[in-house]
Amino acid sequence: MHSRSRYDELKESLRREPRTWLVTGVAGFIGSSILSELLSLGQNVVGLDNFATGFQANLDDVLNSLPQHADRFRLVTGDIRDLETCRGACEGVDYVLHQAALGSVPRSLDDPATSNAVNVDGTLNMFMAARDAGVKRTVYASSCAVYGDSADLPLDETRPLLPLSPYAATKAANEMYAASFVRSFGAGVVGLRYFNVFGRRQDPNGAYAAVIPRWITSMSRGEPCLIFGDGSNSRDFVHVSNVVQANLLAATSTDQRAPGTVFNVATGATTSLNELFREVRDALATVNPAAAGAEPVYEPPRAGDILHSSASIGRIQSVLGYEAGLRLSDGLLEALDWYTRTTGASV
């Protein structure tokens, strides 16, 4: 008989006793995925977003799929750079899942000051607002970018931080602030170092689009797919459902080791960009045979990009009971199904 996972037990508990959650960056790719899971579990959710990188369409997609729970969601349109907005959003909230940020290494190289204002000042505001509102637990999104480029893989959480970009530096600063809030105020703050997250509702457009949705869209249109470098760069691609699981486990864990700790959120498996290209191409070819002949176009490496990234997930497994679920091939099919239905990517 298959034993029940800690996440299965948590979901059952939440259905019995609904809580109130604040999700910042709720209109983004990850934020809307968290919203979908929370509403499906009958939770009450406050969402905060300024729609700088999020989309109303993401919220509509979630709410239209869960009409019976739509009245459990309240949207606050505002900016985490405004402390009073953060304070208002935290009122009456049990848990904060802080996803709001300006992502992208290239964006931070183009405009370090704005990345700092949103990612550092905004996160500090959220930490202060959650502390003052008596929130039980704040979970914030960090990034594997804090590790820099290390040849000693896999990366575990004891590794020194060597950020190569302003974006990575903002995430390292978040971790330092979180640790100080635990030590100074006894705040319940937990960090999650996301590796390369992918899945439905990930934006395929714009200069800073992530590689998987960008390639799906480009292949569907018969446009070239760019690989920066020779394609040997490797990443740990983690489906967004695993990230959602990590957030809910981190928020509710009673393990005394959790507050003040950061956890890798990944699968523990690596894939090169060349391998990823073939996976995306083969998946897309099942619905669009013309994609089968697609070949990548190689461009010079980009500044700030890491060569290889591979995660150890022992800590999050042992402390939070996390289990990596959907793997790359199955996750790609799930994401592809969404892209083909919503963007007509198969035609």
Which residues form the catalytic set? 167
Tell me phi and psi for residue 246, to 5 degrees: -60, -40
Output the six-digit token pair for 154: 């896999």
Cβ atoms of 195 and 156 closer than 8 Å: no
Q: What angle do CA 271, 272, 273 make, to 5 degrees?
A: 120
Distance CA 42, CA 61 (A): 17
3-state secondary structure the chain: CCCCCHHHHHHHHHHHCCCEEEEECCCCHHHHHHHHHHHHCCCEEEEEECCCCCCHHHHHHHHHHCHHHHHHEEEEECCCCCHHHHHHHHCCCCEEEECCCCCCHHHHHHCHHHHHHHHHHHHHHHHHHHHHHCCCEEEEEEEHHHHCCCCCCCECCCCCCCCCCHHHHHHHHHHHHHHHHHHHHCCCEEEEEECEEECCCCCCCCCCCCHHHHHHHHHHCCCCEEEECCCCCEECEEEHHHHHHHHHHHHHCCCCCCCCCEEEECCCCCEEHHHHHHHHHHHHHCCCHHHHHCCEEEECCCCCCCCECCECCHHHHHHHCCCCCCCHHHHHHHHHHHHHHHHCCCC
